[in-house]
Structure 1
Amino acid sequence: MEINKDYIWNYLKNSDLPIILYGMGDGADKVLSAFKKYGITASGVMASDDFVRGQSFHEFTVKKLSDFENEYSDFIIALCFATQLPDVMQNIFEIAKKHKVIVPSVPAFGDILFDEEFAKKNKESITSARNLLADDLSVKVFDNILEFYKTGELSLLDGITTDKDEAFSLLSLGENETYVDLGAYNGDTVDEFLHYTNGKYKFITALEPNAKNYSKLQAHCSEMKNLELWQLGAYSHNTTLCFNNKAGRNSAIVNESNTKTPVAAVDTILCGRAATYVKADVEGADFETILGMKNTLKMFKPKLNFSAYHRFEDIFRLPLLISGINPEYKIYLRHHPYIPAWDTNLYCI
């Protein structure tokens, strides 16, 4: 299968083949919006066989892959959803053996697209951030992820995908950690932390902004000691913001919503107390969250586990910000199994 090395938007615009969107929902909405911006025309929408029931998406009737195989001699599939499920990812790779599968670069949050203008504008910052990375694998992950954003080539994820055990070996968590969990969801990342500390710790502070998730977090941690829970989002300062009120992991800050949610700076929450390990999955507020923990980073240099994929600029602006606050950090970048390049995280020690 031909490897694309051009910006994905140019590649798709200049192709003579029909372009079939694979997936429905927010991801496909964002892809279609980008198509409109760049003058790209979609020819249809497909879903996995089990999900096709004659429904419509935008002006298209959703069809099976086999329907398009009967209709066209050849076509390009533009993947429009995210998954970390092994069987779904395997199915995507199997489809890619028969047809050109490409992943349009649309952000998880915000509306800034990765295109030639974006790359040129941020060239200096990209180079500076790359130079901060602590090992060869981090550099390879950095290069491949940026090239993936540019071209949408699935093969770029091969060879840079590692499991969480390898990343946590870098963090080397002990049994006397003071852990701050930002975006604690239902307690699963508290469990992850306990897994790597043999169930032992000094203290846990966990924040979760969504009311339903917070109730689950409370129930999950009801038997635990040396723990404080806050129904708050993490941010650069203490205020009240609008959240989208989505359940699951997708509770995030939006411009307009009826759900007013308090947010706070980590420095305010800790009030000068030490932290030894901070994990953050704050759905697009990662930069602001780091701004809100400057004192903690300067004074205590906790080990960090931060998502670096919610916005395209996070992969370079977060390392620059962290290093600017405390240049003693060694910064590692790892990508864990996910399509597209989600679950790409910074591990700082």
Structure 2
Amino acid sequence: MLESLLRETDWLDALRRTDEPVLLYGMGSGADKILALLSGAGIRVAGVFASDGFVRGHSYRGMRVLTRREAEERFGSFTALLAFGLEGGPDEALRAVASRHRLLAPNLPVYGAGRLDKAYIRQNAARILYVYERLADDYSKRLFYELLRYDVNGDPRALLAMESRCDPPPSYFAHGRAHIDVGAHDGATLRDYQAVSPAHGPLLAVEPDRIAFRRLCTAVSDLPLARPIRAAASDREGQACFAGGQGRGSALAERGEAVRTVTVDGLCGRRRLGQPDVLRVGSLRIDAEGADERVLCGAANTLYEDAPTVCAAVYHRAFDLVELPRLLLAQRPDYRLTLGKKAYIPAWDVFVFAEKRKK
């Protein structure tokens, strides 16, 4: 598996070697990240284009934003770098680009620095194999491989060809204990959970963003067991700065609004092991916009005592796909791990599911 990954051509190396102009397809924060990386690698971007509905005679970074046809008239054949997220698979505009030009979609981290490249794979071969060998089914192993391959070569076609599966195991819903949703946003995930779960205890929904929290409270107001909590879940209790973004981009930051930080263990009355009258937890969802590792660390006692079934995002930071499954196995060696993904370019909405193995 590793040998195959190391034979892939790194997408940055491919850009260094190409004689074609390199163009950004899209603008905004995604394009900013790609430009910063390319600048550090000594790779020049010749221009920027967008889908027809987004071209309004404006410029981005001093380059006039072109339509695809204008870009083709000016540059002829080129390599396009997708610089925005697309849910549900390729649309007509993206297919038109991919059918005429080489299209790469760099999978850069939503938060933080770093890149999962061949250097990382070489240096962390044992860690990668450790996770791969402990994935419980063929789909998860193939998805793990294709995600790593995509990180290296930037070509999303093989990943898009895979079936999208993102259903937690049955134990996530059927346990009769509390369910905790970290990063509950507007309440949609909690309502989805409540609609499927046949029996559950309290529903704790943790969300730090002020506007999203208001929507969350409205969305779950008719659920008698729901308990919205305005806070940022982390690995320690206290206070932190939070930069709101009403969705992707809402995260703990160096500057921003001061919000309360909580831990899963603290919410459950488990600041130490062996406490009486704790909240028993059957399932835990973590989609914490880059703070996912901290949330798991702050849930160590709960995982140790209750072994809840976990659904955790593994796409926010560059190495989450490897490091978060390792952390779960360190906390609970008896966890059974699977992976799931939704149809997204780049590889967002990828989750690890962990449930206690049946004896």
For Structure 1 versus Structure 2, the TM-score category normalised by the shorter chain is: over 0.9
What displacement does 1:140 show? Answer: 0.5
Aligned to 1:227: 226
Aligned residues: percent identity?
27
Summarize deviations over 1:45-102 as a string: whole Å, max 9, x none.
Answer: 111101101111112110100111112221011001112145x545323421221110
- Secondary structure in 2 aligned to 1:145? helix
Q: Who is 1:243 aligned against?
A: 242
Instruction: For residue 123 of structure 1, report the CA deviation from its aligned partner.
Output: 2.2
RMSD of Structure 2 on Structure 1 (CA)? 1.7
How far 1:172 sits from its partner (Å)?
Answer: 5.5
Q: Which residue of 2 aligns with 1:188?
A: 188
Match of 1:267 in 2: 265
What is the match of residue 59 of structure 1? 62
CA offsets 1:269-309 (integer angstroms, 9 cap, x no match): 11131110111110001111100001111111111111010
Whole-Å Cα distance in 2 between the matches of residues 204 and 42 of structure 1?
49
Q: Kindly indicate whether the alpha-carbon contact (under 8 Å) linking 1:132 and 1:319 is maintained by their aligned counterparts in 2.
A: no
Aligned equivalents of 2:170 and 2:322: distance in 1? Answer: 20
Residue 260 of structure 1 aligns to which amino acid in structure 2?
Answer: A
CA gap of 1:73–1:159, structure 2 versus 1, over 3 A, is: closer
Structure 2 CA distance for aligned equivalents of residues 294 and 259 of structure 1:
27
1:336 matched to 2:342? The reply is yes
Matching of residues 145-224 of structure 1 within 5 Å: 145-164=147-166, 167-169=167-169, 171=171, 173-174=173-174, 176-197=176-197, 201-224=200-223
2:319 paired residue among 313, 317, 325: 313
Bigger shift: residues 5-14 or 25-34: 5-14
CA distance in 2, matches of 1:30, 1:300: 40
Determine the structure 1 residue equivalent to 2:29. Answer: 26
Deviates more, 1:226-235 or 1:281-290: 226-235
TM-score, reference length from structure 1 = 0.93
AA in 1 matched with 2:287? D
1:11/1:74 Cα in 2 relative to 1: closer, same or farther (>3 Å)?
A: same
Aligned to 1:11: 14
Q: Name 2:3's counterpart in structure 1.
A: none
Q: How does 1:91-102 map to 2 (within 5 A)?
A: 91-102=93-104
> Which residue is equivalent to 1:81?
84
- Structure 1 residue 249: deviation in Å? 3.7
**What amino acid sits opposite 1:220 in the alignment?**
A
The amino acid across from 1:204 in the alignment is L
Q: 1:295 to 1:89 in 2, by over 3 A?
A: farther
Whether contact under 8 Å (2:178, 2:279) holds in the other structure is no
Say whether the 8 Å CA contact 2:191–2:220 is kept in structure 1. no
* Structure 1 counterpart SS, 2:33: helix
Alignment of 1:36-47 (within 5 A): 36-47=39-50
Q: Does the residue aligned with 1:144 lie in a helix, a strand or coil?
A: helix
Task: Map Cα deviations across residues 325-345 of structure 1 (whole Å, 9 max, x no partner).
Answer: 111110001121111111111
Kindly tell me: are residues 327 and 310 of structure 1, through their superposed partners in 2, closer, same or farther at Cα, counting changes over 3 Å? same
Unaligned runs of 5+ in 1: none
Deviations 1:202-242 (A, max 9, x none): 21011000111111111111222122211011111112222
Deviation at 1:170, TM superposition (A): 5.2
Q: How many pairs align?
A: 341
Which residue number in structure 2 is paired with residue 299 of structure 1? 305
Counterparts of 1:218 and 1:321 in 2: how far apart (Å)? 32
Contact preservation (8 Å) 1:109, 1:310? yes
1:117 aligned partner, one-letter code: A
SS state at 2:252 partner: coil
Q: Taking structure 1 as reference, are residues 336 and 8 closer, same or farther at Cα in structure 2, changes over 3 Å only?
A: same
